[in-house]
Amino acid sequence: MGLNSFLFVLFVVISLFIYYVIPKKLQWIWLLVISYVYYITNSRGLVVFIASTTLTTWYAGLTLEKTEENKKRRLIVALTLLFNFGILAVLKYTNFLIVNINDLFHTSILQFSWALPLGISFYTFQSMGYLLDICWKRTAAEKNLFRFALFVSFFPQILQGPIGRYSRLAHQLYEEHSFDPGRFERGFQRILWGFFKKMVIADNALYFVNPLFKEYQTYDGVALFATVFYAIQLYMDFSGGIDVVIGIADLFGVTMDENFRQPYFAVSITDFWHRWHITLGTWMKDYVFYPISLSKWMGRFGKWSKKTFGKQTGRALPICVANVIVFLIVGIWHGAAWKYIAYGLYNGFIIGLSGLLAPQYREMRKKLKITKDTRWFYVFQIVRTFVLVLISFFFDMGNGFKDALIMIRNCFTKFEPSQLLEIDVGTVAASFKAPTAILVIAIGCIIVFIVSVLKERGVDVAGRIRSANFAVRILVYVIILMLLPLVGQAPLSSGGFIYAQF
Amino acid sequence: MRNFKIFICLLVCAAVLVVNAKMTDFLYPYNEMRVVVHKIQTADYDTLIIGNSHGQCGIDPVALEQFGGMHAINAASGNEFVIDAYYLVRLAAQSADLKTVIYEIDSAYWMLDEAENCELVKVYHEFPPSKLKFRYFQDKILKSDFRTVPFEWYLYRNYLGRIDSLREMKSSDAYKNYSIEPFRSPVQLMQENGFIAIQRFEEDAPKADTSMTWHRENVKEKHLKNFKRLVDFCRENEIQLVCIMTPVPEVTFSKDQPFSEDSIAYFTALCESYDVPFHSYLTDGRDGITHDLADYDDYDGHMYFDSAYSFSAVLAIDLPKLIENGKL
């Protein structure tokens, strides 16, 4: 039951209707029921995994709260983390390990063929964040198992996040909600916007991304376009999916954390990760980066590096190492393949090195008399960051590490944009010629760009539309709705959204 | 004021749905399945042929009648998945005194998901509004992209550029009378019984090669489930189900394609497990069954009309033995 299926639309409509009709004190129970119905419909017997994560984390949280002894507390946390991350690691990475062992030692160990439980990456991180919040006394443990189960399994976010925080999300799930037409319209707007980005822009771009990456030897003259189309597709697909998720949650009166903030306007890779998949970034910052940075061994390392490299470098080096570790984990989180690890390390090293070389960079700017606050410098930073991101996407989407390097080389050695015209976009009887598809993507991107610029300047675009004349609003919504079948592409795979694979 | 706005919203929703339903109806192209489904509901027959394009142009009902006394409708078609075949059988069982179903198995389709394109609704769209169609909708369309329901026309929106010819077609007698004339070209001649007769040409046209590799692990669970439903339905309604694989060029069988020893073994075992008669003609070398590429339109295995006639004659003679013994 993907987010784009008619069955899901019916499911949400019926669930919403009942949600606002039943006694308010039963609303959270109904949310729990439909979340598990959704989960079981999509994952069947694999529901045992989310149930076991829910049970172990809930019990560990309660026990942790009652235990004052540090040694015992650390043991509870360690065991629960090991159990739940262990499940994730075994299910997601065993075959990767087997493939590499077979390659290294020329063995023929058979791989396992098992399905991944729906949303395992997301709900595991979300639950473990809750546990660590209890450990660090940032939040009280939830005493009601079923309420906690709702926090873990809340259906709009299970497919692709955002990764919620207990302190911000949970109370909303348990609160009573009255039907609010304004909020309803806001949710509907968000859903429509999400599908516009996904179906009109991302799904058209996908028809270029697939052949340009899979047959990169044939389309060697358009390697640069490959990564640009992928940048468009990935952002529109992922952020579009998040828009749909946030919009659906809004319909139920629940506000989820934002996961994107105009990431391609970032002025550095660090800034990019403050704007892209924000909830994963903040989770890594709060539960990996800070614990590593503030750990005893990192403290010792910091002392040693100050002694060895001087005060400035010595201070920056531990942060650099922590960043590399964080982004190694980010890479691994994305998937069981060396290219994802390369992707993570690429980002980690850039961020780490930029911190290490910050004084030298400041010196260079001073010598070149470059003022930081000028518009052209701001644009330069954005373009520079976008180029670095495009390079990383070669590793993310490429067939493998070596193929990614060949594609990067092709960007500088070959340029034949006419190769793009050979690509047909869409399915039989609903296809576009390449120029038409490129026009659709370009216009879609311009619309998104304008909205993004306004949002970056603090303009609430959706709010402005909502405060417009009723007839104007209806017209806007109908136009966007009709664009979905008129110029949107059909999904190439069931489930629809890229991040649903996690 | 609030009630007025709700009323307007509902009115707009209704208008959008009605306009799009009209667009769906108008833009939907006239295809051979309209004729076939009409025949299923109105003709007099006792045998239904289901399956894919190999069956559509490989099993000639005329030969089945001449050599086996069967009155058959050929409802096989490209992109007809097991679920579509199942519902065609159910429609036929409702409409005629159905005794036998010949299911032409193309193993490639069993490894594929139904693509979200105009072929997705090719069979479904032609069904008359009924409880059966509603169940078909629940089974197939409900899980597809949400646009397929209110905006089905998006699957064939290119026809927006051919409104004039569509209007002409839809107002023609050929369309209203379910004529096969629009589906008769120099290359392919549709027959009244649904069979597509592929014509031979003197000039050497390049043979199409649409290879796909067979892996039994790739067979989709849902196709197996739907096959079981088909088997159960036939059993409950005393309809004899027979499964076959039609002949292919020898050069095709030698490649590792959906037509291979392993695919034969797989479907033999599958049919045996359900006690359904099955025979693979992929490499059957008897008289009347050709594996010469010259007798096919392509490497994939679409027979010319005369090769199909000869093969169908053999099939007609084989069927009683196949039904009695479960295999040949």
Pick the more confident residue, A373 or A21. A21
| Of the partner residues A10, A488, A490, the one whose CB lies closest to the CB of residue B117 | A490
**Residue B254: per-residue pLDDT:** 65
Q: Is the peptide bond before A162 cis (omega within 30 degrees of 0)?
A: yes
Residue B66's nearest CA partner among B245, B246, B193, B241 is B193
Name residue A268's amino acid. S
Distance from CA of A372 to the nearest CA of B (A): 48
Instruction: Determine whether the interchain pair B143/A490 forms a contact, defined as Cβ–Cβ distance below 8 Å.
Output: no
The 3-state DSSP class for residue B100 equals strand
**Would you call B156 and A478 a contact, using CB atoms and an 8 Å cutoff?**
no
Residues of A in contact with B225 (CB under 8 A): none
What is the reported pLDDT for B208?
A: 63
Average pLDDT over residues A294-317: 86
Looking at per-residue pLDDT, the higher value among A276 and A115 belongs to A276
pLDDT band at A404; cut points 50, 70, 90: confident
Exposed, middle or buried by CB within 10 Å (0-12, 13-18, 19+), for B63?
A: buried
Q: What is the ipTM of this complex?
A: 0.89
Does residue A326 carry a pLDDT above 90?
Answer: yes
Residue B86, judged by CB atoms within 10 A of its CB (0-12, 13-18, 19+), counts as buried
A181 touches chain B (CB under 8 A): yes
Torsion of the alpha carbons at A481, A486, A397 and A113, rounded to the nearest 10: 80
Looking at the DSSP assignment, which residues form a beta bridge with residue B188? B198
Dihedral sign (CA A31, A35, A41, A47): negative
In chain A, what residues touch B159 (CB-CB under 8 Å)? 429
Cβ distance A113 to B217 less than 8 Å, yes or no, reads: yes
pLDDT, averaged across chain A: 91
Are B103 and B280 within 8 A, CB to CB? no
pLDDT of residue B206: 59
- The beta-strand segments (E) located in A5-70 are none
Q: Quick check: A208 and A230 in contact, CB under 8 A?
A: no
Query: Mutation test of the interface with chain A: which of B13, B137, B144, choosing the one with the most A Cβ atoms within 10 A?
Result: B144
Please judge whether A6 and B146 are an interchain contact, meaning their C-beta atoms are less than 8 angstroms apart. Answer: yes
Residues of chain A positioned with their CB less than 8 A from the CB of B113: 493-494
CA A443 to chain B, closest CA, distance in angstroms equals: 20
Question: How crowded is residue A288: how many other Cβ atoms within 10 Å of its Cβ?
Answer: 17
pLDDT digits (tens, 9 = 90+) for A10-24: 999 999 999 999 999
pLDDT band at A241 (very low <50, low <70, confident <90, very high): very high
- Hey, of B145, B166, B219, which one would you mutate to test binding to chain A, going by the most A CBs within 10 A of its CB? B145
- Chain B's closest residue to A113, CA to CA, is B217
State how far the Cα of A486 lies from the Cα of A173, in Å rounded to an integer.
37
Interface contact flag, A478 B159, Cβ < 8 Å: no
Taking contacts as CB-CB distances below 8 angstroms, the residues of chain A near B148 are 6
Residue range A46-63: mean pLDDT, rounded: 95
Residue A248 pLDDT grade (very low, low, confident, very high; cuts 50, 70, 90): very high
B251 three-class SS: helix
Cross-chain residue pair A496–B145, CB shorter than 8 Å: yes
What is the strand order of the sheet B278-280 is part of?
Answer: B72-74, B47-50, B100-104, B240-245, B278-280
Question: Is the distance from CB of B2 to CB of A181 less than 8 angstroms?
Answer: yes
The residues of chain B scoring below 50 in pLDDT are: none
Hey, is A456 helix, strand or coil? helix
Contact B118, B268 (CB under 8 A): no
Would the pLDDT of A252 be above 90?
yes
Q: CB distance from B148 to chain A under 8 Å?
A: yes
Residue A108, pLDDT above cutoff 90: no
pLDDT band at residue A333 under the 50/70/90 scheme: confident
Residue A37 pLDDT exceeds 90: yes
Round to whole Å and give the CA distance between A473 and B181. Answer: 49
**Beta carbons of B143 and A113 less than 8 Å apart:** no
CA distance B218 to chain A (A): 12
Across residues A235-239, what is the average pLDDT? 95
Residues B147, A181: C-beta atoms closer than 8 Å: no
Q: pTM for the whole thing?
A: 0.91
Range with top average pLDDT, A33-47, A388-402, B122-136: B122-136
User: Does residue A8 belong to the interface with chain B, where contact is any CB pair within 8 Å?
Assistant: yes
Q: Residue B215: what pLDDT?
A: 86
Q: pLDDT tens across A193-222, in order?
A: 999 999 999 999 999 999 999 888 889 889
Distance CA A192, CA A189 (A): 5
- Among candidate residues B73, B52, B55, the one with its CA nearest the CA of residue B223: B52
Residue A407 above 70 pLDDT? yes
- What pLDDT is stored for residue A494 in this prediction? 55
With beta carbons less than 8 A apart as the criterion, state whether A129 and A287 touch: yes
A-chain residues near B20 (CB < 8 A)? 485
Model confidence pLDDT, tens digit, residues B266-317: 999 999 999 999 999 998 999 999 999 899 998 888 999 999 999 999 999 9
How many other C-beta atoms lie within 10 A of the C-beta of residue A393? 22
- Sort residue B199 into left (φ over 0), alpha (ψ -120 to 50) or beta: beta
Give the max Cα distance, chain A.
70
| Residue B114 near residue B120, CB atoms below 8 Å | yes
- H or E stretch including B49? strand B47-50
SS3 B59: coil
Residue B142: which of A87, A389, A6, A297 has the closest Cα? A6
3-state secondary structure at position B72:
strand
Chain A nearest-CA distance from B113, in A, is: 9
| Pairwise CB contact (< 8 Å): B155 & A427 | yes
Report the C-alpha gap between B136 and B143 in whole angstroms. Answer: 11
Q: DSSP letters of B252-287?
A: HHTSSSSSSHHHHHHHHHHHHHTT--EEE-SS--ST
